Amino acid sequence: KITASGGKIFASNRGKADFHTILTKCKEVGGSIATPRNPGDNDAILYFVKNFKTYTYLGMKESIVPSKFHFLNGTQLSYTNWHLNEPSGRGEEKCVEMYTDGTWNDKKCNQNHLIVCQF
């Protein structure tokens, strides 16, 4: 499945993996892990989450400051869509997952979630 937003293509093969495996798999096919930078991107990724009824990881991680998240290149998040009372892991949950309503939750990185890449 493929969808587009803001000049980017988002794709999923319905596979599932942990965060680090998703990073590798997306890189192997010439892309990167899906990273919403605006509501349009978020909706494009949500299309897969809703379609396959499962969560996905997003291209961001917790910084050394608990509950502060940044893009994988280290830059500050310019757009967020946290679920109510999230992030709540306080240093224990380093990754970010997307719920089936499009909101985000901080989560441990070892869950098997839907692989969604962007190109």
Q: Quote the pLDDT of residue 42.
A: 98
How high is the pLDDT of residue 26?
A: 98
Nearest CA-CA partner of 104 in 52, 51, 67, 65: 67
**pLDDT value for 13:** 93
Domain enclosing residue 111, as ranges: 2-118
* Cα distance between residue 94 and residue 87, in whole Å: 10
Low-confidence ranges of the chain (pLDDT < 70): none
The pLDDT of residue 103 is 98
* Total count of domains within the chain: 1
Predicted TM-score of the model (pTM) = 0.95
Specify the 3-state DSSP secondary structure of 16: strand
Give me the pLDDT at residue 37, please: 95
Structure confidence by residue, pLDDT tens digits, 91-109: 899 999 999 999 999 999 9
Rounded mean pLDDT of the chain? 96
Sign of CA dihedral 47, 50, 53, 58: positive
Question: Which CATH number goes with the domain that contains 109?
Answer: 3.10.100.10
**What pLDDT does 53 receive?**
96
Burial class (CB in 10 A: 0-12, 13-18, 19+), 12: buried
